[in-house]
Homo-oligomer: A and B are copies of this chain.
């Protein structure tokens, strides 16, 4: 559904939302270990999240790392998708037409539209905080570790 980059962005943000505060910042090493992702690549992605939408913050130096504010924790998942340039995904035609639209629909459109609306609704109502809380509660996961 999304690119690897976006998948890492989602998982990393959830982890930071879970553990990273202004006085408990998390290093890229810990993050990439926790979400099971390549460290350097993940670092790049976090830079994008910081710059594009300021979803996360960071400071260099000892005890430096990444964290989030209460405000950005309340952002919907869609904010991450926007920062990662995946907005297009939600406007993509199943058959690959230039745009998924009512004006020039493909033969899948009428049925797909209904599903697409639910996807958008999901990404706009679920907040980063929700996902972090669910993960904290321990019944869901953000990595592939066996234990």
Residue numbers of A with Cβ under 8 A of B are: 1-2, 4, 7-8, 10-11, 14, 77, 89, 92, 94-98, 104-109, 111-112, 114-115, 118-119, 122, 126, 130-132, 134-135, 139-144
Contact = CB atoms under 8 A, between A and B. Distances in A.
11 contacts: A10-B94, A10-B96, A11-B95, A77-B108, A97-B141, A107-B130, A107-B134, A109-B140, A111-B122, A112-B122, A115-B122
The number of times this chain is found in the oligomer is 2
A115 B118 contact: yes
A108 B131 contact: yes
B92 A144 contact: no
B107 A135 contact: yes
Q: Which of A94, A105, A130 has the most CB of B within 10 A?
A: A94
Q: Which of A107, A114, A119, A131 has the most CB of B within 10 A?
A: A107
- For the complex of A and B, the 5 pairs showing the least CB-CB separation, nearest first, are A7-B96, A107-B131, A107-B134, A107-B140, A98-B144
B107 A142 contact: yes
Contacts of A135: 107
Q: Which of A96, A115, A141 has the most CB of B within 10 A?
A: A96
A106 B141 contact: yes
A11 B96 contact: yes
